[in-house]
Structure 1
Amino acid sequence: MENCDDVLRLVLRIDFPPDNRLGHGKIRLLELIASTGSISAAGRAMDMSYRRAWLLVDALNSMFSRPVVESQRGGKQGGGAALTEFGNELLHTYRHMQEKLEKAVKPELDWLEKNRSQSSDAGQ
């Protein structure tokens, strides 16, 4: 089986003018928030600080007309975070777009894979 790091992969990134982006990093953060129920745990899983994860969540919530993530401060029940219904729709929509894009360019990716250099230092 091939190592995922050794296979060409397509990355979907959507630029929101003037300076916001939606891509695999923010989407992965949302997936981890959904599975852990925590912004800090999701950030740790991605080797980022809580502050960085929180800033990305804040950016996501600012990019759309509806909130993507809702958080609850700590206390007796402890803190936590969850995707809103819209956040779940966003996650599903992004993954669907990614699948469609990958299918649409599969022949070209296969061609690139077939013709790329196998040298470990190619492109450096």
Structure 2
Amino acid sequence: MCPPKPDRDGTCMAVRDFGIEVSMTNPTAAPSCLRIRILFGEDAMLGPGKADLLERIRDTGSIAAAGRSMAMSYKRAWMLVEEMNGAFKDPLVDSTRGGSKGGGARLTETGAEVLHQYRKLEEIMAEAGAARINVIRSLLRDMSDEK
């Protein structure tokens, strides 16, 4: 899985969560990864951000908590969930309103399957593209001495 974009404070979630160190000044030392975005026409797409959001909803049971963990507002997270729910035959996320019993969210069976298939596609594409990525990486300029 690719390291995500930096949070508002400039740190990368991957660095915080997984102890991965990424050199932004030396791209030849940074880990390579593919970011896959699937376009299903003009109005429907699935990419790494939405997949990460689904994963975090699954793990936290909350759209708000999932959004916060990605430095995303609740409104933005909710909008993305609504977008995904509207794009598929069946909703990907089922949510219950807050209140005295509290609210929550969970992936539906379809949501879990979409996430599983997307992550599997990432693995397959990374394996299939590894040799070509290494060739492209070897052509990158080392910028570590330029600071």
TM-score (norm 1): 0.90
Aligned residue type for 1:75? G
- Unaligned ranges ≥5, structure 1: none
Quote the residue 1:75 is aligned against: 99
Shift of 1:93: 0.3
Quote the residue 1:22 is aligned against: 46
Instruction: Select which of 27, 33, 36 maps to 1:12.
Output: 36
Rounded to whole Å, the distance in 2 between the matches of 1:4 and 1:101 is 22
1:51 to 2:69 alignment = no
Q: Secondary structure at the match of 2:90?
A: coil
Shift of 1:3: 2.6
- Check 1:2–1:61 CA distance in 2 against 1; reply closer, same or farther (3 A cut): closer
Shift of 1:115: 2.0
Rounded to whole Å, the distance in 1 between the matches of 2:130 and 2:43 is 30
1:93 to 2:108 alignment = no
The structure where helix makes up a greater share of residues is 1
Q: Secondary structure at the match of 1:112?
A: helix
Q: Secondary structure at the match of 1:27?
A: helix
Aligned residue pairs, count: 121
**How big is each residue's C-alpha offset from its partner over 1:12-39, in whole Å with a ceiling of 9 and x where there is no partner?**
1001212322100000000000000000
Rounded to whole Å, the distance in 2 between the matches of 1:13 and 1:81 is 24
**How big is each residue's C-alpha offset from its partner over 1:47-99, in whole Å with a ceiling of 9 and x where there is no partner?**
11100000000000011001100000012210100000110001100011111
Aligned residue type for 2:90? R
Shift of 1:4: 4.3
Shift of 1:8: 2.4
The structure with higher relative contact order (CA 8 Å, sep 6+) is 2
- Tell me how large the CA RMSD over aligned residues is: 1.8
Q: Percent identity?
A: 45
Aligned residue type for 1:21? M
Shift of 1:114: 2.0
- Unaligned ranges ≥5, structure 2: 1-18, 24-29
Rounded to whole Å, the distance in 2 between the matches of 1:38 and 1:2 is 26
Rounded to whole Å, the distance in 1 between the matches of 2:22 and 2:93 is 29
